């Protein structure tokens, strides 16, 4: 569907912009109810809780990348005063299989990560925990524990594992393969390439041996044959730890058979079933308290399995147990984005329009479970660059390196990081303007993407206005003016870069839950995690608007599952804003209907005779009515479906349970999001960067940056701006220096602290970094808002890489991040001086 | 023995209020004592449980070690003066600006508020193997993990390696060498005053010590003579991040010009060798020559003669060549390249204020 956009550019200063035309709450700034506690430091994170008689536990992490514990002698430790228990892998319950929402049983993976292990598969894998009266006692006890090891073969580089005779990370294999004969998750198999496959390695090209995963569409050969330019490039994106400022600390205690667990998580409601699965217990007996979370970025979608360690110790010792996680521990167990080594051959016509794309990926999945980044990358590439013909082949390799998980735009960040620099090179070779080249390849409207399904049909998006974002961004960034400026001044080289960016932006089908109380208040039960994005609160602004109530009569409860929550999406995949504005809109719409029914039952007539406004339900055109407080009281008298003694038949069982627990508290309303949607929801960003490089030192500065977002209706401008710039910065980190450093001889990490692995600081990005948003509603969702968390990430990285190659030329780097040393050594030599495929240096 | 990090071991905390008391305590406890100034280096070692001293002598309560005194012949800076105070002191900014420049780019504003000049010049190396508790030569073992065919040594030495290839990480020291500063050390045999560059010990002399301090010794002050007051200075630090980072390399020079020619110069670089390096041969070679680009080029080439790169740090050779070039052609260099550094300082101040 083509949507014509007639809006003009928004002012550069976000405070001067007007969003939410025609809305009362949507698109307006406001103070979220968690804000004052956050900025004054009174918000309580997991580590801030204390309980009577609380013990502390500390972990022991594996010093070796792969080993098997023969025996643990903890007798000296246990003999120390104050030492309460030593927990080992033998004390950890087997993970339960579980039923997904489609009723399918998902078997616990035999390669899945457990809280503690007797066969650590990476340096830093937790092997035991010690509980004591304080941390010092626990530490001294740990130093008295003797562990007898059998060292096992290890591999940290996926390509080394694929070499003929290369080591396997585990005895049963090295490569994740989707079973061909039966459906199910990937399985670990053995795959080695040939010496011939590796011939390309010596030329700095990614070898392309047998790949278990592949798909294609269109006529690839014709696409390359008709191309005016064909480029075949290899590029590596980095392993990057999430480095949440709040480490995954957890505190647990038991009361009356119920587990109370305090921890940080991205998703409140959806973390309960995860804990239940890891503990092999009923979710009915789990209470999670997570009012504030200090960052997740995909590493805490439903928390992580380590959080059950204090829960098990607490049960064993019948005392509360606090497990604090240190920064070094967080480096190992805090998850990371997998690096993807990519080789992409792209054909372009003379205007830069892509004619064909042949993509090969090697994904370093780390030590546990298959990472899907390598599989997602080509789907994002096919959407963002719209190649008419495309093939993808991919290998996902297990290595003895820390556990990976989704990190903001998993696979998308890597696809954009790998392909965008090739587009920049093509534009230079073809003499086409960089923005113009993006424009001819840019997706639009209901853009098709990914491989065809069994019926030969390709998926498509709900909407895409990225071309508008690109045009307006170019205008706001003064692109045309900047490209004309001189590139060299003394030892300084200037460069500008642009990148397209996208990632998924929403799901559907979740529930809303609210109560109109006998006091006349409107209370929303938010099962969304409070991970800093403010969606936990923001989505309910849409509901308040449907009810036509002022925001100050609304209350949002969140963060403690004893306050009961509806079936809520996990906050991952940037789905929350989209999914939960729909659920909020549904429940508010249902609430209006229920208010009318209550009025009709109380005052006569039919519900259609009534309308809702100004915190009242009253006869259309004036006459008898009820205040919200009165309607709530009437709902309690009516009982049944009105006060929560019954739940609607189509809501999720989690919602039904929550409704039951609110029974009798007022007008209790729940509803499932049943709005139609044609297409899959994605959001988009056009990113622009300027760099200044000192070619005599290699040092460069990011001097300007703009991210122009197409994220549907702007829901909350201030939090949107925070997300667009924050996630752009996450992407920028991949370009400018956040890193892993691994010693391949010992298979271990040497850069474990912030000053060594170097996440960017506030001074590494421009002070006046800019963002803007189109504010064009997505036509396939009632509020029009799409998610924003992940879409800016790839563009943040690639815009900087493209600006660097604009300043320095195409022969300096083939790998991110780009450091001063890479630039200096290569600029002197006029060619890449580091082997492009040697990572983690 | 299983390993755990990030739990400070128990020790006796001694908090003397005078330098004499501190010295007495240090001599009494000898090698059992750990001296703590601002704590930025100490806490890493202690919390990692790699160093477990019996007693910790905390110097933070000794007022006589704090502050900057303008003397008849320059300035004297107490060892416990914070880096922020050094950076902001008007006399230092006016006459010894190479030092204020250098300390203002140490780590981060918070670290400079807590870190002291004495601590900054006396800190240990930051090789990640050594700091990670690996039993390397410097830690008393018999191997260097960084200097292997695959060892990760991007930030390591190109000069002065002798079993250990760690570099000295201080930003203030090259500036102090350029200013011909003297370090005042109290020892059991009385007060010793040494030239800045001679405070340091290379691995060839004693691989387990980074400076001359023996158990019981105490650095009390740093004296900057007026010899170089108001000279033409150059300082530049190259680092990965714009704040909170050790140098990949830094350079400092003090030059007195006479009729366009260099009449006197002192020049030092750091993060290239286990010891801060004064480049005496370069100083000698450029005296009498004009402070221009061609002298700079010559100086840069001379400076890197004899450099031995490791697997991942060959970039340090052109980096040192270029930094020395800039430090020698000083004035021109600052005009051409100073703008951005200036911006950055302003940025950092803006965020700090």
Task: Express each pLDDT in A143-179 by its tens digit.
Answer: 999 999 999 999 999 999 999 999 999 999 999 998 8
Contact B152 A696 (CB under 8 A): no
Q: Give pLDDT, residue B334.
A: 39
Q: Give pLDDT, residue A674.
A: 98
Q: At residue A16, does pLDDT exceed 90? A: no
Is residue B154 assigned to a domain?
no
Residue in B232, B238, B245, B122 with CA at minimum distance from that of residue B178: B232
Q: At residue A2, does pLDDT exceed 60? A: no
Q: Model confidence at A106, in pLDDT bands (50, 70, 90)?
A: confident
Q: Is A624 on the interface with B (CB under 8 A)?
A: no
Is residue B140 assigned to a domain?
no
Q: Give pLDDT, residue A300.
A: 96
CA distance B224 to A203: 55
Other C-beta atoms within 10 Å of A261: how many? 28
CB A718 within 8 A of CB A839: no
CA distance B137 to B166: 11
Quote the minimal CA–CA distance from A767 to chain B in Å: 8
Q: At residue B347, does pLDDT exceed 60? A: no
pLDDT digits 0-9 by tens, A403-434:
999 999 999 999 999 999 999 999 999 999 99
Contact A763 B347 (CB under 8 A): yes
Contacts with B, A 322-341, CB within 8 Å: 326-329
Phi, psi of A805 (to 5 degrees): -70, -25
Is residue B93 assigned to a domain?
no
Q: Is A6 on the interface with B (CB under 8 A)?
A: no
Q: At residue B352, does pLDDT exceed 50? A: no
Is residue B204 assigned to a domain?
no
pLDDT digits 0-9 by tens, A306-321:
999 999 999 999 999 9
Q: Which residues of B touch A743 (CB under 8 A)?
A: 129, 145, 150-152
- Average per-residue pLDDT for chain A: 95
C-alpha dihedral over A173, A178, A184, A188, to 10 degrees? 10
Give A565-626 as a DSSP string.
Answer: ------S-TT-HHHHHHHHHHHHHHHHHHHHHHHHHHHHSS-GGGEEEETTEEEETTSS-EE
More reliable by pLDDT, A320 or A108: A320
Is residue B282 assigned to a domain?
yes
Planar angle of CA B221, B222, B225, nearest 5 degrees: 135
Q: At residue B20, does pLDDT exceed 80? A: yes
Percent of chain B with pLDDT over 70: 93
Helix axes A268-279, A308-317, angle to 10 degrees: 60
Q: At residue A639, does pLDDT exceed 80? A: yes
Helix axes B316-328, A820-829, angle to 10 degrees: 90
> Comparing A336-447+461-506+679-829 with A511-672, is the CATH topology the same?
yes
Quote the minimal CA–CA distance from A552 to chain B in Å: 35
The structural domain count of chain B equals 2
Average the pLDDT over A384-406 and give the result. 98
Written as six digits, the tokens of A326 are 């240190």
Q: Model confidence at A97, in pLDDT bands (50, 70, 90)?
A: confident
> Partners of A515 in the beta sheet?
A523, A668
CB A642 within 8 A of CB A598: yes
Quote the minimal CA–CA distance from B186 to chain A in Å: 33
Q: What is the DSSP letter of A243?
A: -
Q: At residue B348, does pLDDT exceed 90? A: no
Percent of chain B with pLDDT over 90: 92
pLDDT digits 0-9 by tens, B182-235:
999 999 999 999 999 999 999 999 999 999 999 999 999 999 999 999 999 999
Q: Model confidence at A656, in pLDDT bands (50, 70, 90)?
A: very high
Give A664-694 as a DSSP string.
Answer: TSSEEEEEE------SBEEEEEEEEEEEEEE
Mutate to test the interface with B, among A57, A139, A829 (most CBs of B within 10 A): A139
pLDDT digits 0-9 by tens, B274-309:
999 999 999 999 999 999 999 999 999 999 999 999
Q: At residue A138, does pLDDT exceed 80? A: yes
Phi, psi of B304 (to 5 degrees): -95, 0
Question: Which residue range(s) make up the domain with B293?
Answer: 236-352
Is residue B89 assigned to a domain?
no
Give the domain CATH number at B57: 3.30.43.10
Is residue B277 assigned to a domain?
yes
CA distance B325 to B314: 18
pLDDT digits 0-9 by tens, A582-596:
999 999 999 999 999
Average the pLDDT over A639-668 and give the result. 98
Contact B315 A820 (CB under 8 A): yes
Contact B240 A737 (CB under 8 A): yes
Q: Tell me how far apart the terminal alpha carbons of chain A are, to the nearest angstrom.
A: 48
**A511-672: in CATH 3.30.365.10:** yes
Is residue B192 assigned to a domain?
no
CA distance to A14, A696, A751, B239, B242, per residue, from A764 (Å)? 22, 20, 20, 11, 6
Q: At residue A4, does pLDDT exceed 80? A: no
Residue in A325, A420, A266 with CA at minimum distance from that of residue A789: A266
CB B1 within 8 A of CB A144: yes
Average the pLDDT over A763-776 and give the result. 95
Strand order in the sheet with B277-278: B232-238, B249-258, B261-270, B277-278
Q: Is B335 on the interface with A (CB under 8 A)?
A: no
For the entire predicted model, the pTM comes to: 0.96
Q: Model confidence at A9, in pLDDT bands (50, 70, 90)?
A: low
Segments making up each domain of chain A, as ranges? 50-152+243-333, 336-447+461-506+679-829, 511-672
Contact A825 B314 (CB under 8 A): yes
Residue in A30, A648, A761 with CA at minimum distance from that of residue B244: A761
* Partner residue opposite B1 with nearest CB, options A59, A143, A819: A143
Q: Give pLDDT, residue A8.
A: 54
Which CATH number is A50-152+243-333's, of 2.40.30.10, 1.20.1250.20, 3.20.20.210, 3.90.1170.50? 3.90.1170.50
Sign of the alpha-carbon torsion through A200, A205, A210, A215: negative
Q: At residue A772, does pLDDT exceed 90? A: yes
- Average per-residue pLDDT for chain B: 93
Q: Which residues of A touch B344 (CB under 8 A)?
A: 701, 763
| Beta-carbon contacts below 8 Å between A and B | 146
Q: Give pLDDT, residue A6.
A: 43
Residue in B15, B167, B172 with CA at minimum distance from that of residue B82: B172
Q: Give pLDDT, residue B330.
A: 67
A336-447+461-506+679-829, what's its fold? Aldehyde Oxidoreductase; domain 4 (3.30.365)
Q: Which residues of B touch A745 (CB under 8 A)?
A: 148, 150-151
């Amino acid at each position: 569907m083509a949507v014509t956009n007639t809006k003009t550019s928004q002012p550069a200063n976000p405070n001067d912009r007007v969003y939410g035309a025609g809305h009362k709450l949507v698109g307006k700034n406001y103070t979220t109810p968690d804000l004052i506690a956050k900025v004054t430091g009174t918000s309580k994170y997991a580590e801030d809780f204390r309980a009577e008689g609380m013990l502390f536990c500390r972990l022991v992490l594996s010093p070796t990348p792969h080993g098997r514990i023969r025996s643990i002698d903890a007798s000296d430790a246990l003999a120390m005063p104050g030492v309460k228990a030593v927990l080992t892998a033998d004390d950890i319950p087997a993970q339960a299989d579980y039923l997904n929402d489609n009723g399918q049983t998902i078997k616990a993976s035999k390669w899945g990560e457990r809280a503690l292990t007797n066969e650590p598969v990476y340096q830093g894998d937790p092997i035991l925990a010690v509980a004591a009266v304080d941390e010092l006692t626990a530490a001294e006890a740990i130093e008295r524990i003797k562990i007898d090891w059998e060292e096992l073969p290890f591999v940290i580089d996926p390509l080394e594992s694929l070499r003929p005779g290369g080591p396997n990370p585990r005895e049963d294999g090295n490569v994740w393969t989707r079973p061909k004969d039966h459906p199910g998750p990937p399985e670990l198999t053995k795959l080695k390439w040939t010496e011939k496959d590796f011939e390309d390695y010596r030329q700095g090209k990614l070898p392309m041996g047998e790949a278990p995963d592949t798909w294609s569409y269109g006529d690839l050969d014709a696409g390359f044959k008709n191309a005016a330019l064909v480029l075949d490039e290899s590029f590596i994106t980095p392993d990057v730890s999430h480095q949440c400022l709040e480490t995954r600390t957890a505190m647990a205690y038991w009361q009356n058979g119920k587990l109370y667990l305090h921890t940080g998580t991205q998703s409140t409601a959806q973390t309960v079933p995860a804990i239940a699965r890891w503990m092999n217990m009923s979710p009915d007996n789990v209470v999670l308290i997570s009012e504030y979370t200090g960052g997740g970025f995909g590493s805490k979608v439903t928390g992580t399995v380590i959080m059950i360690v204090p829960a098990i110790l607490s049960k064993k010792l019948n005392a509360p147990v606090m497990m604090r996680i240190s920064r070094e521990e967080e480096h190992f167990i805090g998850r990371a984005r997998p690096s993807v080594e990519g080789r992409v051959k792209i054909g372009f016509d003379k205007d830069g329009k892509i004619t064909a794309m042949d993509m090969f990926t090697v994904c370093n999945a780390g030590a546990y479970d298959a990472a899907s980044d390598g599989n997602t990358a080509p789907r994002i590439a096919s959407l963002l660059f719209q190649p008419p013909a495309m093939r993808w082949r991919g290998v996902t390799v297990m290595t003895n390196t820390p556990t990976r998980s989704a990190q903001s735009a998993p696979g998308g960040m890597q696809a954009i990081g790998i392909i965008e620099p090739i587009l920049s090179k093509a534009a230079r070779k073809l003499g086409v303007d960089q923005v113009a080249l993006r424009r001819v390849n840019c997706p639009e409207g209901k853009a098709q993407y990914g491989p065809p399904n069994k019926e030969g049909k390709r998926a498509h998006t709900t909407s895409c206005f990225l071309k508008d974002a690109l045009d307006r961004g170019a205008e706001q960034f003064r692109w045309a003016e900047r490209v004309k400026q001189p590139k060299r001044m003394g030892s300084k080289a200037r460069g500008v870069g642009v990148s397209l960016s996208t990632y998924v932006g929403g799901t559907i089908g979740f529930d809303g839950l609210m109560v109109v109380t006998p006091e006349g208040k409107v209370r929303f039960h938010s099962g969304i995690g409070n991970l800093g994005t403010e969606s936990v609160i923001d989505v309910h602004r849409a509901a308040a608007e449907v009810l036509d109530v002022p925001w100050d009569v609304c209350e949002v409860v969140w963060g403690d599952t004893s306050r009961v929550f509806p079936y809520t999406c996990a906050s991952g995949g940037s789905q929350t804003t989209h999914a939960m504005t729909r659920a909020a809109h549904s429940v508010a719409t249902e609430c209006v209907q229920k208010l009318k029914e209550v009025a009709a039952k109380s005052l006569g007539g039919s519900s259609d005779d009534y309308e809702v406004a100004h915190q009242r339900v009253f006869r259309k055109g004036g006459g008898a009515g009820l205040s919200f407080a009165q309607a709530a009281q009437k709902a309690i008298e009516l009982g049944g479906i009105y006060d929560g003694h019954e739940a609607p038949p189509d809501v999720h069982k989690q919602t039904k349970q929550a409704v039951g627990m609110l029974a009798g508290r007022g007008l209790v309303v729940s509803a499932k999001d049943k709005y139609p949607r044609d297409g899959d929801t994605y959001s988009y960003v056009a990113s622009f960067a300027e760099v200044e490089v000192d070619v005599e030192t290699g040092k460069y500065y990011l001097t300007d940056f703009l991210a122009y977002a197409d994220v549907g209706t702007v829901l909350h401008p201030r939090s949107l701006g925070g997300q667009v710039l924050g996630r752009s910065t996450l992407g920028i980190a991949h370009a400018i220096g956040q890193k892993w450093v691994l010693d391949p001889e010992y298979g271990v990490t040497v850069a474990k602290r912030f000053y060594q692995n170097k996440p960017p600081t506030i001074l590494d990005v421009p002070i006046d970094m800019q963002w803007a948003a189109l504010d064009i509603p997505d036509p396939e969702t009632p509020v029009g808002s799409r998610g924003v968390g992940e879409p800016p990430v790839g563009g943040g990285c690639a815009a900087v890489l493209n600006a660097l190659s604009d300043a320095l030329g195409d022969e300096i780097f083939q790998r991110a991040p780009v450091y001063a040393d890479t630039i200096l050594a290569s600029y002197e030599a006029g060619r890449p001086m580091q082997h492009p495929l040697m990572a983690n240096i | 023995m299983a390993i755990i990090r990030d739990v400070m071991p128990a020790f006796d905390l001694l908090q003397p209020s005078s330098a004499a008391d501190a010295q007495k305590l240090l001599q009494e406890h000898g090698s059992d004592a750990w001296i703590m100034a601002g704590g930025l280096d100490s806490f890493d070692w202690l919390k990692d449980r790699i160093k477990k001293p019996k007693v910790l002598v905390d110097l933070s309560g000794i007022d006589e070690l704090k502050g900057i005194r303008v003397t008849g012949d320059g300035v004297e800076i107490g060892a416990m003066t914070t880096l922020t105070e050094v950076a902001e002191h008007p006399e230092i900014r006016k006459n010894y600006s190479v030092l204020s420049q250098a300390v203002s780019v140490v780590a981060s504003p918070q670290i400079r508020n807590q870190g002291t000049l004495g601590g900054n010049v006396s800190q240990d190396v930051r090789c990640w193997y050594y700091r990670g508790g690996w039993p390397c030569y410097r830690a008393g073992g018999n191997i260097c993990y960084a200097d292997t065919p695959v060892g990760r040594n991007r930030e390591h030495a190109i000069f002065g390696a002798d079993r250990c290839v760690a570099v000295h990480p201080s930003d203030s020291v090259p500036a102090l060498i350029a200013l011909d500063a003297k370090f005042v050390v109290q020892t059991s045999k009385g007060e010793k005053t040494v030239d800045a560059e001679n405070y340091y010990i290379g691995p060839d002399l004693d691989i387990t010590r980074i400076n001359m301090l023996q158990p019981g010794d105490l650095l009390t002050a740093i004296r900057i003579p007026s010899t170089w007051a108001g000279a033409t200075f150059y300082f530049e630090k190259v680092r990965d991040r714009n704040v909170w980072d050790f140098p990949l390399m830094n350079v400092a020079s003090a030059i007195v010009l006479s009729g366009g020619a260099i009449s006197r110069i002192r020049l030092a670089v750091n993060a290239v060798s286990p010891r801060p390096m004064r480049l005496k041969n370069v100083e000698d070679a450029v005296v009498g020559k004009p402070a221009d680009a061609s002298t700079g080029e010559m100086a840069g080439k001379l400076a890197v003669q004899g450099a031995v790169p490791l697997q991942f740090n060959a970039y340090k050779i052109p980096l040192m060549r270029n930094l020395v070039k800039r430090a020698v052609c000083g004035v021109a260099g600052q005009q051409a390249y100073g703008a951005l550094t200036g911006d950055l300082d302003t940025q950092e101040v803006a965020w700090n204020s």
